[in-house]
Amino acid sequence: MRTAVRLGLVSCSLVLAAAACKNERAANGTSQAGGGDTAAASATGGTAGRATTDMTSADTALRHAMADSTLWPSFGRDYTNQRYSPLAQVTAANVSGLQKAWVYKTGVPHAFEASPVVVGGTMYVTTALNHVVALDAATGTKKWEYAPTLGVTIHCCGPVNRGVALYGNRVYMGRLDGKLVALDAANGSEVWSVQVADNQRGYALTGAPVVADGKVITGTSGAEYGVRGYVAAFDAGSGKEVWRFYLIPSPEEGGWWGAWAQTDAFGTPLHRNIQQEKADSAKYPDAWKTGGGSVWNAPAVDTTLGLVFFAVGNPSPDLDGSVRPGDNLYTESIVAIDLKTGKHKWHFQQVPHDVWDLDATSTVVLFDAKGQNGQTVPALAQAAKTGWVYVLDRATGKPIRRTSAFVPQQNMFAQPTVKGVRMLPGANGGSEWSPPAYSPHTGYLYVLGLHQPMLYKARREELKPPSFWLGGAFVGTGEPEYGLFSAVDLNTGKVVWQKKVNRPMIGGALTTGGNLVFVGTADKEFLAFDAKTGRQVWRYQANAGVNAPPVAYAINGTQYITVAAGGNYQINAPRGDEVLTFRLGGPGATSPARDTAARKGGGAP
């Protein structure tokens, strides 16, 4: 495919050369203001255009970058996916002075869900339609842009992309047409491209990949089209597939039928007709081949345990469970697999035999929790569409607790009917794909929630690839809808504080060492709260829905906060194309009152 690479005013190779000089000075014992440029340059530096990547040095450099508080080198900042920045220059006491430093307009005014990564003074951000833009992180000036001509694309929820991974001298992105590409970090040229999945059958890659142990790990989406999803790892240097893990186990792998659960793991009735399902199972022996399963977000990685963790989405078809008897493993599950081999280690299914599209879509977050006996346990959490946060022992997958509900729940797990049955949460959740943020200071997980009452209607539909295959419909009731932003104590399971906003929330959160948590809304607002108390301490009015996860980083001793403002497809938030970056007031910053339209191509307005 033809690929256009547009170079900006500042040559990336010059930036990398400058970073290399900083590396040399650091090696000679000279400290640098801003702290993080040395590790950052190593994480993405090296000789531009090398045919191969030194995996050992790249892995070491990435870990060093993740340990540097001034950087944001991966989707969730590090392998934990906590979205916590230790930076503390901006606090509740001075956040009122947070002002716009620069704006970059991408020129792609579609849904904007990307989380940027920042290393070596360069920000890498993706847009809808799989553009990648490299920007000067201090000024917003464009360095280069990758603008591919995509093949056939089939996707359920907008032509979106949620981010890239950096490793060695490469930038990695999954595309809507099922390709995984490696770009030269110096200039955006395509180093290699591999076809991960059949884009004409309904597969797509929308989530950010993660790179660990020399492997680029990514998951497919497409469960609305009757695919059999998977997570795969590719050699970061060559692009060769290393292993593949199917989200729907074949009969030879133990099958997807499971234990025919009458309740979820916490005893909540699922109202299934198990007898009928078992009687019908012989009619659908091959249902697993089109059983669905998607991975919407970047996996978490525990390099000590050697495990990769991710959440798996809905079975196919979404609402008509009659044609797929059984628990439909590993859909609606948190799964752990071996980092080196891709082999199954454990799984925890949130909703066996889901018929409500309550797919597990938000990121898995790693942290240390108090176990039921008060001991500290290496744990993970996942904020689900069901409206609960699930806390598990990450070594074993055993549940530690299910938190209190962070959204209203009514008529839980009522079976869909032809006429429709009302249930809360609606099909968007709960929590959608929005990555939450975790603060090690408060022990709270900050979760974006939706209140959208829906009628669940089931009907028989034949699979006609690559057509949509829902097996029914979820329909709004006309009741008021709104969003809830919640602080959930993961050690007690209690919702500590909660803020209501006018519209359902999709996007993501950021928490910082300054005791702040940032989040955006569909009403074009970018907000900051006191992380402990929930008191709103700052607000910025954007030009479009703020439906993307924010990030924080520092350059030359100055802390920056960046978020994309371009709206969302699923809740029809107002569209736009802006990357917004803020810092405390000073040269180069502007206040919201003096806000003017940013010129295309970025830079301080």
Helices (H), ranges, 179-224: none
Is residue 329's pLDDT more than 50?
Answer: yes
- Contact criterion met (CB below 8 Å) for 206 and 223: no
Integer angstrom CA distances of residue 104 from 9, 45, 140, 225, 336: 14, 24, 6, 35, 38
The identity of residue 266, as a single letter, is F
Query: Which neighbouring-strand residues pair with 516?
Result: 530
**Over residues 118-140, mean pLDDT:** 98
What percentage of the chain's residues is helix, strand, coil (to nearest 5)? 10, 35, 55
Q: What whole-number distance in Å separates Cα of residue 567 and Cα of residue 61? A: 34
484-514 pLDDT tens trace: 999 999 999 999 999 999 999 999 999 999 9
* DSSP label at residue 593: G
Q: pLDDT class for 55, splitting at 50, 70, 90?
A: confident
Whether the per-residue pLDDT at 4 is higher than 50: the answer is: no
Q: What is the pLDDT of residue 5?
A: 39
| CA 334 – CA 488 distance, rounded (Å) | 19
pLDDT of residue 586: 52
pLDDT over 80 (residue 590): no
Q: How confident is the model at residue 58 (pLDDT cuts 50, 70, 90)?
A: very high
pLDDT band for position 595 (50/70/90)? very low
> Cβ(358)–Cβ(313) under 8 Å?
no
Distance (Å, whole) CA 325 – CA 201: 24
Residue-wise pLDDT for 209-234, tens only, equals 999 999 999 999 999 999 999 999 99
Q: Which structure tokens are listed for 281?
A: 């199972």
pLDDT of residue 30: 28
Task: Report which DSSP code applies to 76.
Answer: T
- Listed range (34-48, 84-98, 284-298, 392-406) with the worst mean pLDDT: 34-48
Residue 482 and residue 141: Cα distance in Å, rounded? 37
Eight-state DSSP code of residue 353: T
DSSP 388-428: -EEEEETTT--EEEEPPPSS--BSTTPPPBSS-EEEBSBTT
Q: How many CB atoms lie within 10 A of CB 436?
A: 31
Q: Which amino acid is at 143?
A: K
| Model pLDDT, residue 452 | 97
Three-state DSSP at 75 gives coil
Residues 106-114: what's their mean pLDDT? Answer: 96
Can you list the positions of beta strands (E) in 107-251?
Answer: 117-119, 122-126, 132-136, 142-148, 165-167, 170-174, 179-184, 190-195, 210-212, 215-219, 230-235, 241-246
Query: pLDDT tens digit string along 267-311?
Result: 999 999 999 999 999 999 999 999 999 999 999 999 999 999 999
With 80 as the cut, is the pLDDT of residue 22 above it?
no
Whether 568 and 111 have beta carbons less than 8 Å apart is answered as yes
Q: How much is the pLDDT for 183?
A: 98
Question: For the segment 37-52, what is each residue's pLDDT rounded down to a tens digit?
Answer: 323 223 333 333 343 4
Mean pLDDT of all residues belonging to the chain:
90
At 371 the pLDDT is 84
pLDDT at residue 56 in the model: 83
In what order do the strands lie in the sheet containing 509-512? Answer: 84-85, 509-512, 516-520, 525-530, 536-541
Taking residues 176-193, what's their average pLDDT? 98
Residue 308: closest CA among 366, 388, 371, 250: 366
Average pLDDT over residues 547-559: 98
Please give the pLDDT value at position 111: 96
DSSP 287: G
What CATH code is assigned to 1-68+116-161+163-241? 2.40.128.630
Q: Is 586 left (phi over 0), alpha (psi -120 to 50) or beta?
A: left
Could you state, in order of their start, the residue ranges of all structural domains in the chain? 1-68+116-161+163-241
- pLDDT for 532 beyond 70: yes
CB 161 within 8 A of CB 128: yes
Active site residue 357: yes
pLDDT of residue 54: 78
Q: What whole-number distance in Å separates Cα of residue 594 and Cα of residue 391?
A: 45
- 248 pLDDT band, cuts 50/70/90, is very high
Give the rounded percent of residues in the chain with a pLDDT score beyond 90.
86
pLDDT at 1 > cutoff 60? no
**pLDDT in the model for residue 559:** 98
Enumerate residues 6+ apart whose C-beta is below 8 A from 573. 111, 503, 506, 522, 544, 545, 547, 567
Which of these ranges, 34-38, 186-190, 286-290, 588-592, has the smallest mean pLDDT?
34-38
At residue 372, the pLDDT reads 81
In this predicted structure, the answer to whether residue 125 has a pLDDT above a threshold of 80 is: yes
- Vertex 570 angle, CA 568 and 572, to 5°: 60
CB 164 within 8 A of CB 132: yes
Nearest Cα residue to 504 out of 572, 456, 438: 572
Say which of 68, 357, 359, 577 is annotated catalytic.
Answer: 357
Task: Label residue 396 by pLDDT band (50, 70, 90).
Answer: very high
Helix-helix angle 55-67:37-44, to 10 degrees: 150
Residue 26 has pLDDT above 50, yes or no: no
- How large a percentage of the chain has pLDDT more than 70? 88
